[in-house]
Each structure stands twice: as structure tokens, then as C-alpha cells.
Amino acid sequence: MTTNFSRLPPLPPLRDFIHMYRLRAKKVLSQNYLMDMNLTRKIVRGAGVQPGDWVCEVGPGPGGITRAILESGCDRLDVVEIDQRFIPPLEHLAEAADDRLHIHHADVLKTNIGDLWGKEGAKRSVQWSDEPPAMHIIGNLPFNIASPLIIKLLKDMSYRRDAWRFGRVPLTLTFQMEVAKRICSPIDDDARARISIMAQYLTEPKILFRIPAFSIPTEFAHYLIGSCFVPRPEVDVGVVRFVPRIQPLISAPFEIVEKLCRQVFHYRQKYMIKGLKTLYPKEIADEMAHQLLKDCRVNPKAPSVQLGIEEFADLAAAYEKQCRDMPGLFPYDYIKPNRTVAMLAKTAGALPPMNPFKVEKMPEEGIRLAEADKFLC
């Protein structure tokens, strides 16, 4: 059944909106809701939503992007909202959406989107290498959870679980523009950071457009960004789309890559060797860090921003081998030196997890046909 879009309740006037949802009190949560339907429609177009698609929107708030998604003609829209204040207006929208809008009052950081879709009979893609399925995750998130959420989603993507058990589901999310630039930052760029490697080795991220943070001279200037957001954010906003890669650029498990990048970029303005040493107990740090760099032919005096994903792939593979050869090294935390490698070797997480989708490098001398499966995605 096709929704009569004229039946969708309009966005409330700004004065009523501020009063109804007490946004002044909630600004500490970094919540900024889009109130410009031209922009919400632009986000939905950029996400590639087509009639008949399935969509999960995270953090819908009062429903600005929600309306634009429903206008696209999607078959099903699940929204995950933790703030009880916005459940009534979303329910009001659902009444006009011909049973296409489904509301989940939950924390997106604890929600399995794949389960939401799976319970409704969503079909798995035959192969990961297929074209992305007719499914999307979209969100205008509070800035304080955007970074932890994208790390969680990337981890789920790396294991092809949650939403990604259905295939290469794309993501379209908003971030502070500074974070958006980090995500898409190229090699040797000042913005390059841990999230640059984490996002780019698993996906092809792209900044779709910028929403500038300019104010206008009205009695509501504190809340407005060109009448787009409520409350007005203090920084520009970037809309980023992530398309999962068929083959990740790093074959080590996600946890290895994350730990390596976290330690290396902790000292992003220093030599590589300084960050790498924090992966090891002090008494063996110098020897093992230098050996890691030697094995990967990486200059110890190179800053982290100058390393490409290929170098990080080599470092991750070599560090994973060290962790498997020395149980207890992987969970070692230099901030808690009293928990020694010997002690950690006796724990359940002494070794890093395996990457179930690791693709082996093809040997130069070639392979037998019977061995081909392990070299294919």
C-alpha cells in the first residue's frame, strides 16, 4: 500500500518544538535534530534509498529524517530511539505510515539491527561479493555517541554479523565535520587518525556534503543553524556514507587492528616506535617493537600519519603473529602493568580472536585447484 504523504503530520513550529521536547535541558547530551526537510531529503537521496528498500534509522528524534525516508517509498522503516520524549511523535507518524514504520525504544549501542530485520523475514545475500542489498542504516546521531557507534558497527561489519549478515549494507551517518574529515583522511594528512584506518580498511567512506554551522539573527539564533538544526551545533556537520568493501584491506582480526591503531595514533605527532612500544611490557618493549618494524620494513622514525593502509596491514599481521606466539600479549595493557603477560596467558582472552573471513595471500608459485577456496572471498 502506498502512503499518502499528505497524511504525514508536519514538523511542529520551532517555538512549540522547543517547548514540547525541552531541548534546552537536553543540549548537554549533544543532541541536534534536523528540522529542514530539504536537507533530510538530501541525506536520504545520498544514502541511495529506493522504493521497496528496508531502512533502519538510528536516533530519529522527532522524525525529520524519518519523514524523508517514508517519502522515499521504502517498504519497511525501523527506528531505534532511546529518548522517551520522542516516542509519542514517532507513534503519531507511524499511524499515518500504513504499517511501514516500526518503533524500538532502545539504546542503539545495545541493539542488533540484524535481529530486527531477521524477525520480519529479511533475506540473506547469497555472497558477500554481491551488490549491496536493498537495505540501509541511516542516522543523525548525538555527537557524543557517533564515534563509539561507528566503531561498534565497523566491528560487526568485519565479522559479517548483525545487519551485515544480510550482505554489504551501506551506512549513512552524520558526524562533526572534524570527525568526518578524519574518517576520510588520506595518507600524510593532518586529520589522519585511528578512525581513518578503521573505516577505510573495511569500507569506502565518502563525505556526501557539509552542513555549515552558521547562525541567523532571530530570537531563536541560539537554536538555529540556518533553520536546519535544533539546537544549533557549534561546529559544521558532515554527512558520511560508508560502503563495505568486498575484501577488507587488512586481514588481521578487527581487535588486533583496533588495538594497533589506538596505540600508534595515541602519539600521532611522535615517531612510530613510541606508540608501538606501548603494546608490550616495558622489559621487552624496545626489542619487540623494533623487531616488528624491521619485519615490516617500516621506518621507526616515521610518524603514524605517513603510513598507508598497506603498512598497517603488514604491522597488524606481524603483531597478530607475536600475540599468537606469546599468549597473554594481546590483552596486555601498559596502563595496568601489574597484570603481567604471564598472568594474562592463563585467562580466556589470552589469544586474539580469529578472523573467519581471512583471505590468504596467493603464493607466487601458484596454487592447486583444490586449495583455491581459501584464496577466494
Q: How far apart are CA 353 and CA 76, in angstroms?
A: 35
81 is in an annotated binding site: yes
User: Amino acid identity of 267?
Assistant: Y
Sequence ranges of the domains in the chain: 6-244, 254-358
In sequence order, the 6+-apart residues with CB closer than 8 A to the CB of 371 are: none
List the beta bridge partners of residue 34.
229
Structure confidence by residue, pLDDT tens digits, 34-65? 777 888 999 999 999 999 999 999 999 888 89
pLDDT of 20 over the 80 cut? no
CATH fold of 254-358 reads Helicase, Ruva Protein; domain 3 (1.10.8)
Distance (Å, whole) CA 280 – CA 328 = 10
Residue 23 pLDDT: 53
Average pLDDT, the chain: 86
* Residue 101 known to bind ligand: no
3 state SS for the chain: CCCCHHHCCCCCCHHHHHHHHCHHHHHHHCCCEECCHHHHHHHHHHHCCCCCCEEEEECCCCCHHHHHHHHCCCCEEEEEECCHHHHHHHHHHHHCCCCCEEEEECCHHHCCHHHHHHCCCCCCCCCCCCCCCCEEEEECCCHHHHHHHHHHHHHHHHCCCHHHHHCCCCEEEEEEHHHHHHHHCCCCCCCCCHHHHHHHHHEEEEEEEEECCCCCCCCCCCCCCCCCEECCCCCCEEEEEEEECCCCCCCCCHHHHHHHHHHHHHCCCCEHHHHHHCCCCHHHHHHHHHHHHHHHCCCCCCEHHHCCHHHHHHHHHHHHHHHHHCCCCCCCCCCCCCCCHHHHCCCCCCCCCCCCCCCCCCCCCCCCHHHHHHHCC
Distance separating alpha carbons of residues 261 and 255, to the nearest angstrom: 10
Q: What percent of the chain has pLDDT over 90?
A: 62
Amino acid at 122: A
Q: With 70 as the cut, is the pLDDT of residue 311 above it? A: yes
Burial of 317: CB neighbours in 10 Å, binned 0-12, 13-18, 19+: middle
Per-residue pLDDT band for 152 (boundaries 50, 70, 90) equals very high
| pLDDT score recorded for residue 116 | 93
Find the helix packing angle between 64-71 and 37-47, rounded to 10°. Answer: 60
Q: Name the one residue in this structure whose C-alpha cell is 536493498.
A: 134
pLDDT score recorded for residue 218: 39
Give whole-number Cα distances, 10 to 5, 16, 253, 352, in Å: 10, 12, 46, 51
Grid cell 576520510 is found at 184
59 annotated among ligand-binding-site residues: yes
Residues 6+ away with beta carbon under 8 Å from 64 = 11, 33, 34, 35, 36, 37, 40, 140
**Average pLDDT rounded to a whole number, residues 278-282:** 96
- Least confident window among 24-28, 98-102, 228-232, 279-283: 24-28
Distance in angstroms (rounded) separating the CA atoms of residues 300 and 129: 37
pLDDT at 181: 96
What local confidence, expressed as pLDDT, does residue 10 receive?
67
Which CATH number applies to 6-244: 3.40.718.10, 3.40.50.150, 3.40.50.1100, 3.40.309.10? 3.40.50.150
- 112 annotated as a binding-site residue: no
Strands 76-81, 54-58: parallel, antiparallel or unpaired by DSSP?
Answer: parallel
12 has pLDDT over 90: no
**End-to-end alpha carbon distance in the chain:** 39
Q: How far is CA 360 from CA 127, 248, 347, 377, in A?
A: 18, 12, 29, 10
Q: Mean pLDDT: which of 88-102, 204-218, 341-355 is highest?
A: 341-355
Chain segment 112-149, per-residue pLDDT in tens = 999 999 988 887 777 899 999 999 999 988 878 888 99
In which band, very low, low, confident or very high, does the pLDDT at 367 lie, cut at 50, 70 and 90? low
